[in-house]
Amino acid sequence: MERRTTRQLTLGDDRTGLVRIGGDAPVSVQTMTSGYTYDIDACVTEINRLAAAGADIVRVAVPKRADTEALPEILNQTRVPIVADVHFHYKRALEAVEAGIHKIRLNPGNIDDREQVNAVIDACAQRNIPIRIGVNEGSIIERKDKQVRMEELGKFFADHRQGHLMAIMIAKLEEYLEIFHARDFHDICISAKSMDARLAIDTYREISKRFDYPLHLGVTHAGPRETGSIRSVVALGTLLAEGIGDTLRISYASDAVYEVEDGLEMLWSLGLRERVGAELIACPTCGRIQVDLFRLVQDVRSRLAADIEVPMKVAVMGCVVNGPGEAEGADIAVFAGDRKGIIYVQGQRVANIPEDEILDRLLAECRKFQDRVRAGEVKLGEKTVEIVPPAPIGELGSGVDKIARGQVEQVSIGKT
């Protein structure tokens, strides 16, 4: 996948290690704490939990002086780069910089005094701290001069159903960036988040044409995970598949660990990050099912997450219909039948066991396989089986010739 070329910024220190955003760096996953930052113990616990889930960067809110006062101790007890999320009070940014924060986020929708922004830029420049300019549809449209700006900018993107919002967000970015450029500050990442997936896609496409700063992707206020995941992945996945986006935050009204897990899974699925841990394949079940597969899949998932770091493919299938194919596609596969499970490792059958032994045996095989991969005895994805193509189907013949000629026939079903 060809990715858009962007500048690169670096954040972190000796304790956290460095995380790069943009350029040739892998797309990073961010999230944000939900507790009060001034509650140091709770904040540290939350940050460490999010880092353990795989977050590359964690953001904290600093609305009060007590929050920035807590930062030195929080930074001392955590090992992941921390971003201070600053709204309304530019002094919180100055205090966070003084505390040793790794990155600042400013919202042009609520900090727009040029002298205040200059003060933050100068403080960050002195310490090589990057700044994200985070435009947000929600705070932009609440501006006092909304009507004036709508009339002024309404002519741009006039054929877009929400062109005025795109124009306002892009114009705000342009105006804000001028302040940074006047001070020759380019250690910048930008975002323009909307709660509407289609608007987010179109706005990021537009800003990716206009700026070469790394882009922080996000759909804001995406809602609970059940629906927010669809809205986020459809927007961010589309952009990432087009090569747009250097870091991302999925935002749910639920545990932020899900934001990290889903962000990582999206990047793994797109091949934009190297997978950590097992990839689980499972069938949706149907009327042929002969074991309690849903429960088995959830049990396998949590045990794999705890025990397996090697990116092996594990398939859990409800019956033999797709079993052999999955056994060939996965490193380890189990397919069930008649309250039993048949386990394959790299295409070779290794066990035929009762249903209640499937979980333990499958995990034992996964751990053993992991040890062998680490010892260099076997390679992931390497099989000894051969894939046999299906035989031609009676009079219809084989599709091989047609595939080779690039032909696709139109078929009418049920036509008299």
Distances (CA, A) of 117 to 104, 183, 187: 12, 11, 14
| Interface region with ligand SF4, contact rule CB under 6 A, candidates 145-153, 184-192, 313-321, 400-408 | 313-321
Q: Which is nearer to ligand SF4, 62 or 334 (CB)?
A: 334
Judged by CB under 6 A, the chain residues 174 through 233 that form the site for ligand SF4 are none
Tell me which stretch binds ligand SF4 (CB under 6 A): 16-24, 75-83, 282-290, 351-359: 282-290
Contacts of 184-188 with C-beta under 8 Å, sequence gap 24+, read 185/121, 185/124, 185/125, 185/131, 186/7, 186/213, 187/9, 187/124, 187/125, 187/128, 187/129, 187/130, 187/131, 188/7, 188/9, 188/130, 188/131, 188/132, 188/133, 188/213
Please report whether residue 390 would count as binding ligand SF4 according to CB under 6 A: no
Helices 40-53, 256-269: crossing angle, 10 deg rounding: 20
Among 77, 162, 269, 285, binds ligand SF4 (CB under 6 A): 285
Residues 6 or more apart whose CB falls under 8 angstroms from that of 155 comprise none
Rounded least distance, CB 149 to ligand SF4, Å: 54
Q: Which amino acid is at 401?
A: D
Among 133, 153, 319, 333, contact with ligand SF4 (rule: CB under 6 A): 319
The one among 286, 388, 393, 411 contacting ligand SF4 by CB under 6 A: 286
- Indicate whether 317 belongs to the interface with ligand SF4 (CB under 6 A): yes
- CA distance readout (Å), 147 to 137, 152, 281, 338, 398: 15, 9, 51, 68, 65
Told to check if 283 binds ligand SF4 by CB under 6 A, we report: yes
Closest approach of ligand SF4 to the CB of residue 308, in Å: 23
289 binds ligand SF4 (CB under 6 A): yes
Measured between alpha carbons, how far is residue 60 from residues 33, 83, 100, 104, 222 in Å? 6, 6, 14, 10, 19
Provide, rounded to whole angstroms, the least separation between the CB of residue 247 and ligand SF4.
37
3-state DSSP call for residue 50? helix
Q: Give the residue nearest to ligand SF4 (CB).
A: 318
Q: Could you give the 3-state DSSP secondary structure of residue 235? A: helix
What is the C-alpha separation between 153 and 29, in angstroms, rounded?
33
Residue 35 or 325: which CB sits closer to ligand SF4? 325
Considering only the stretches 97-105, 317-325, 341-349, 395-403, report the one whose residues sit in contact with ligand SF4 under the rule CB under 6 A.
317-325
For residues 302 and 280, give the distance between their C-alpha atoms in angstroms, rounded to a whole number. Answer: 11
CB atoms closer than 10 angstroms to residue 150: 15
The reply on whether position 57 binds ligand SF4 by CB under 6 A is no
- Residue 116 within binding range of ligand SF4, rule CB under 6 A: no
Question: Does 150 help bind ligand SF4 (rule: CB under 6 A)?
Answer: no
Q: Give the residue with the Cβ less far from ligand SF4, 250 or 316.
A: 316
Q: Which residues contact 28 (CB under 8 A, 6 or more apart)?
A: 19, 21, 56, 57, 246, 247, 248
Q: According to the binding rule CB under 6 A, does residue 347 interact with ligand SF4?
A: no
| 322 binds ligand SF4, rule: CB under 6 A | yes
Residue from 12, 81, 263, 318 touching ligand SF4 (CB under 6 A): that is 318
Our finding on whether 280 is near ligand SF4 (CB under 6 A) is no
Nearer to ligand SF4, 141 or 281 (CB): 281
CB 8 within 8 A of CB 21: yes
Q: Does 45 bind ligand SF4 (CB under 6 A)?
A: no
Return the DSSP state at 71: H
Nearest distance from C-beta of residue 193 to ligand SF4, angstroms:
38
Please report, as residue ranges, which positions from 225 to 244 form the binding site for ligand SF4 (by CB under 6 A). none
Here the tokens at position 248 are 């991302």
Question: Minimum CB separation from ligand SF4 for residue 339, in Å?
Answer: 13
Is 243 strand, coil or helix? coil
- Tell me which of 65, 79, 210, 288 binds ligand SF4, using CB under 6 A: 288
Task: Give the interface with ligand SF4 as residue ranges (CB under 6 A).
Answer: 283-286, 288-289, 317-319, 321-322
